[in-house]
Structure 1
Amino acid sequence: MSSDFRALMLNASDDGKKVTPEFRTLSVNDLPEGEVLIRVSHSTLNYKDGMILNGLGRLVRQYPHVPGVDFAGEVVESSDDRYSAGDQVILTGWRVGESHWGGYAQMARVKADWLVPLPEGLTTAQAMAIGTAGFTSMLAVMALEEQGISPQLDGEILVTGAAGGVGSVAISILAHLGYRVVASTGRPENSDYLKHLGASGVVDRAELAEPSSRPLLSERWQGAIDSVGSTTLAHILAEMKYHGAVAACGLAGGADLPATVIPFLLRGVRLIGIDSVLCPYEKRVRAWQRLVTDLPKERLTEATQIVALADILPYGEKILKGEVRGRLVIDVKAC
């Protein structure tokens, strides 16, 4: 096995305000420490990746850095008994691509605890079509289920940021399970796409982002999966039905929450935060098994675009502008 491989590496200016990407040839000796060495096959482009590629949000504190917040591939070497050469594995979370070198390289070395075996019935490309975003979607669905939300209840489930990675996979899962799903998007041209994924209706993002002076609005949603936050999340909380539940992940609209405690006190609304990073191993495995059975493969394929790692840079800006629809899988071998 050659010890050399190609990687996308980021360097920062002395003041940290400008990040410059560069494709380089590296050696496995350059990789950070870890028990498992992996030949990376596929990664993805998430919203967080777009921020990192453009030096936004100070998600990366130490340069040079290899981005890519998730990846899938084949074990080359392992000092941990749980993994052997040839095993197929997935990595999502654990600040990979932020504080630890990530998936935009043909080789990676990580801690064994961060990995999950590739479930039977998935390829590495399909696993990355799901990726951190799809994994987060399943965690959100599971959180709603744990709060007693089910397809048998009278009410609709709202999904915000619907055309993005988390939203599009969440719609597909919920519709497959029999929920009535309403999608929220700021782009009317995405309506047909979202309905094809399984949404029964589409609402304009601006309608939900409109701040209200009233702590409670007419009851509308039995459950919600929100990846926007800020005024959108506040608006959703005010419209929840009695004992409704919101699974919140991502802060595309900001971290401020201009809401009151009234929805929680008078309607018993539950707000559950979804953390796909520090997720216990058993729950991670269970979520990936659910993704094999509860996410229609044909919907996954339709919502996926594959791009070579060598061509990724323009997409970093596109995803920040909301111009990437569905899932963007990165073929790391093509670099």
Structure 2
Amino acid sequence: MKAFLVEKIGDKEFTADVKEVAIPKCGENEIVIKVTYSSLNYKDALSSVGNPGVTRNFPHITGIDVAGTVYESTSSIFKVGERVLVTGYDMGMNTNGGHAEFVKIPADWVARIPDAITDKEIMTFGTAGLTAALSVNELMDNGIRPESGSILVTGATGGVGSIAVSILSKIGFTVVAISGKEEKTDYLKRIGASEVILRDTFNEEAKKPMMGEKYAGVVDTVGGEVLANALKYIKYDGVATCCGLTSSHELNTNVFPFILRGVRLIGIDSVECKLEKKQAAWEKIASKWKISTLNSITNEITLNEVKDAYSLLLAGKAVGRYVVRIKD
């Protein structure tokens, strides 16, 4: 089969490209998926250059998301021919991932694809969409509603940010987007943002320990200074979710938002969260949270184009989601 393979060729030296490799064989309580679509994520890009924080086992097939049909199964839960997907857990990290024509997966990692959504659509969401949906869930589970006020989305042109903007807009929220890409202002408004603030402007204006109350909630995808400043603007009893660190893994803040306004900061993890929680999110994504702007945020590529797309991701030049077509 064809697969995007990363190989270690020397000390801190790696090569990555499409290669022919053996089709995996099904073990106990495993399934082999015949892949239709996968997607690209920042974590995939890091794996492709041998980042030890993501992948230590080589040779390695990238791809933390996958959708397709069950080709072979030793599980009592999944039958040959069922449409399934996998996001998270160890897939694409130290277990071979979805950038291949076939992938072998523990059955405990697998979710069913809802009937109302195609393989391509669910991979357009992928880990990014699942993370966005889990973030929106936390806002709403903590009492944030459209009438509560506007929601600030940071890193809004990225995969998680773009989908969060679109979902929030679809379900009635007013969305303010933060981005470092001024040229993408029209794009962000097209997918649902009512206002776009440039990242540098946002950070320059937030100099005080506390700022005026502006946002009922925040969906943060970048961490660092942007998150620290966003916390200063949250209204009383508001909520911020945090799922990313593309700006920084550090958070230098103060306690005022938490003790004076009762702000809650909630971490979002889509990798190890329970399969039942993932399945529930996929059902929402396929129905009432299914967005009409998917085509606007999707770049469809083939396996042979993955390498170039990784370069864009690593350079911070990617916009929206990259969906990888493996099999029609």
Q: TM-score, normalised by structure 2?
A: 0.95
Are 1:8 and 2:9 matched, yes or no? no
1:124 to 119, 124, 128: 119
Task: Using the TM superposition, give the Cα deviation of residue 31 of structure 1 relative to its aligned residue in structure 2, in angstroms.
Answer: 8.0
Q: Could you say which residue in structure 2 is the equivalent of 1:280?
A: 274
- Partners in 2 of 1:199 and 1:139 — Cα distance? 19
328 and 29 in structure 1: CA distance in 2 versus 1, 3 angstrom threshold: closer
How far off its partner does 1:219 sit? Answer: 1.5
| 2:240 equivalent in structure 1 | 246
How many residues align? The count is: 328
Q: Look up the match of 1:182.
A: 176
Matches within 5 A, 1:220-235: 220-235=214-229
Displacement, 1:73? 0.6
Q: Is the 8 A contact 1:244 1:269 kept in 2?
A: yes
Contact 2:24 / 2:32 at 8 angstroms: preserved in 1?
A: no
**Structure 2 residue 303 is matched with structure 1 residue 309:** yes
CA contact (8 A) 2:26 2:74 kept: no
The question of whether the paired residues in 1 share the 8 Å contact of 2:28 and 2:74 is answered with no
2:8 maps to amino acid: A
Letter in 2 for 1:143: E
Which stretch shows the higher mean deviation, 42-51 or 127-136?
A: 42-51
- Residue 296 of structure 1: CA displacement? 4.2
What secondary structure sits across from 1:268 in the alignment? coil
Q: Which residue of 1 aligns with 2:45?
A: 50
Q: Structure 1 169/32 Cα, relative in aligned 2: closer, same or farther at 3 Å?
A: farther
Q: CA deviation at 1:54?
A: 2.6
Q: 78, 99, 105: which one pairs with 1:104?
A: 99
Any conservation in 1 of the 2:29–2:75 contact (CA below 8 Å)?
no
| Cα drift, residue 310 of structure 1 | 1.1
Which structure 2 residues correspond to residues 154-169 of structure 1 after superposition, within 5 A?
155-169=149-163
Q: 1:220 to 1:29 in 2, by over 3 A?
A: closer
Equivalent residues of 1:54, 1:316 under 8 A apart: no
Shift in Å at residue 311 of structure 1? 1.4
TM-score normalised by length of structure 1: 0.93
Distance 1:33 1:58, change over 3 A: farther
- Equivalent position amino acid for 1:6 in 2: K
Give me the whole-angstrom Cα distance separating, in 1, the residues matched to 2:37 and 2:78. 19
- The letter of the residue matching 2:141 is E
Corresponding residue to 2:315 among 321, 324, 335? 321
Indicate the RMSD between aligned Cα atoms, in angstroms.
Answer: 1.8
Distance 1:197 1:324, change over 3 A: same
Q: Distance in 1 between matches of 2:274 and 2:25?
A: 29
SS in structure 1 of the partner of residue 33 of structure 2: strand
Contact 1:228 1:253 (8 Å CA) reproduced:
yes
The corresponding residue for 1:74 is 69
Closer, same or farther: CA 51–33 of 1 in aligned 2, 3 Å? farther
Partner of 1:84: 79
Percent identity at matched positions? Answer: 39
How far off its partner does 1:221 sit? Answer: 1.2
- The Cα of 1:274 is off from its aligned counterpart by 0.4
- Greater shift, 179-188 or 206-215, is seen at 206-215
Is 1:22 equivalent to 2:17 in the alignment? yes
Cα gap change, 1:190 to 1:84, in 2 (>3 Å): same
State the SS of the aligned residue for 1:312: helix
Residues 172, 295 of structure 1: 8 Å contact kept: no
1:233–1:57: structure 2 CA closer, same or farther, 3 Å change rule? farther
Distance 2:189 2:288 in 1: 18
CA shift at 1:204, angstroms?
0.5
Partners of 2:76 and 2:28 in 1: how far apart? 17
Give the equivalent residue in structure 2 for 1:294.
288
Please state whether the residue corresponding to 1:144 is helix, strand or coil. helix
Q: Is the Cα–Cα contact under 8 Å of residues 309 and 333 in structure 1 kept in the other structure? A: no
Distance 1:48 1:211 in 2: 32
* Structure 2 segments unaligned to the other structure (5+ residues): none
Per-residue Cα deviation, 1:247-291 (whole angstroms, up to 9, x for no partner): 110111111100122211111000010000111122111100110
